[in-house]
Amino acid sequence: MKTAFITGATSGIGREFARRFAAMGYRLILTGRRVDRLEQLQEQLDVPCRILPADLEEEAQCKKLLDDLAGERINVFINNAGFGAAGSFLDTDPEKEIRMVKVNDIAMHILFKGILLKMNRQGYGSILNVASSAGLFPAGPFMATYYASKAYVASLTRAVAQELKERGSRVYVACLCPGPVNTEFNEVADVAFALKGISAKQCVDECLAGMRKKKTVIIPTGQMRMAILGQRFAPQKLLIRMVGHQQKKKLEK
C-alpha cells in the first residue's frame, strides 16, 4: 500500500488532500496541531492512518517529526502547513509574522529537505509544496510578509525541480500556487477575499491533474493562470500598486 504524508491536514486543502488520497487507497500519515481534528479525520477515513501531532512553529518538533518518519517509505508528501496575515507592515503583529515565517518557510524547508533526502535514497516519490499565487507576484503590499514567504516556497521548489531534472532523478517536486480558496485561511489572516474563492475540492482536483502531468508550478483555474501570465507584461511598479489595491479591498470587507 502506498503512503501519503500530509501536513496541515486538519482543515482546508490539507484535509481535502487526505480525503482524496484515502479514496485512492493510500495509507495516510497526518500532521497538525489540533489532535481532536486529526482523530476526527482518522475516524472518517476508511484507510490506515498514522497520527503525528506537531506544532511546526517549533523547529525541534519539525526535526522530531522527521525522526518519527525515519522508518517510513513515503510515496507522496503534501507539504501544506501554512497561514497568512494582512495589514500594513507598520501595524501588523511582528510575533504573528515571525510565527508565519517559521511555518511557511522554515518548517516547509526542513520537511522538504528531509523527505526529499529520504525519497532520493529510496529512488522515487512525489513532493508538493503548497505555496500561493501570491508567491508568483513581485510583492504584495498589505500582505507583505505572506507574499514574501510564499515567494520563498515557489523559488525553492522551482530551483530544486531543475536540479533533480539535471540529475535524471525519479523524484518529482512541484508547488501549488492557487488564488483564493474558501478555507479557514481568511479567519486566521483577518481578511475577506476581494475575488471569489474556489472550493478546496476544485483546488485539489486541478492540482492532482497538474501532478499527473508532472508540472512544476500548478496554478488552479484558467482565470488565475491568465492573471499570472498577464503580469509579465505590466510594469513592476504598476503591478505592485495593483496588488496592494486588491489587498486593501480584503481589509475593508
What is the tens place of the pLDDT at every residue in 148-195? 999 999 999 999 999 999 999 999 999 999 998 886 555 544 555 445
Catalytic member of 146, 147, 152, 172: 146
The upper half-sphere exposure of residue 180, i.e. CA atoms within 13 Å in the direction of its Cβ, equals: 15
Q: For each of the domains in the chain, give its residue range(s) and CATH number, in order of start.
A: 3-252 (3.40.50.720)
Q: What separation in angstroms does the CA of 48 have from each of 24, 101, 191?
A: 12, 32, 36
| Separation of alpha carbons 4 and 55, rounded Å | 19
All three cell numbers of 66, joined, read 522527521
pLDDT bin (cut points 50, 70, 90) of residue 223 is confident
All three cell numbers of 221, joined, read 483555474
Per-residue pLDDT, 195? 58
Tens of pLDDT, residues 21-69: 999 999 999 999 999 999 999 999 989 999 999 999 999 999 999 999 9
Known active-site residue 147: no
